[in-house]
Amino acid sequence: MAELKNKRVNAMKGFWLCRVLVIWAILHLANWSVVAQPSGVALPMVSSAQVPLSLPVARVANVEGMVHVKVTTDGHRVVSTQVEDGNKLLAASAEDNAKTWQFSRHEPVTFTVTYTYKLLTEWKGQSR
């Protein structure tokens, strides 16, 4: 019985580690970043979120840039978002992604998130 419990615990650890590594790899390879605006109030810790996917339309249109999204939380999840600026093609994706965020318990807060979209001309380590 203890062996089965250990296998389950190890499987869960592996699942979470794999999930974190996949998210990190996607963000790193896509050269995508999100930066929250610093404020006097401690920003909430994200407990789950969808990984933003590459935008094929933006790639074809050769569009890159920053999008600022104002995010308001209720102490657990996002209750409203508002794009403050940025390319409309990228803004919809950024806003949709911000709506998927859930947080550890915190005081309701409003903050601005900066999404940076950058097109890569070549993957690092790519062989020709």
- Asked if pLDDT for residue 123 goes beyond 70, the answer is no
Q: What is the pLDDT of residue 30?
A: 46
DSSP 61: T
- Report the length, in residues, of the chain: 128
Q: Are 57 and 22 in contact (CB under 8 A)?
A: no
Q: Which residue has the higher pLDDT, 124 or 76?
A: 76
Helices (H), the chain: 2-29, 56-60, 88-98
CA dist 8 and 12 (Å) reads 6
pLDDT digits (tens, 9 = 90+) for 24-75: 445 544 444 455 555 566 788 999 898 877 678 888 888 889 999 999 999 9
CA dist 41 and 102 (Å) reads 18
What mean pLDDT comes out for the span 111-120?
A: 89
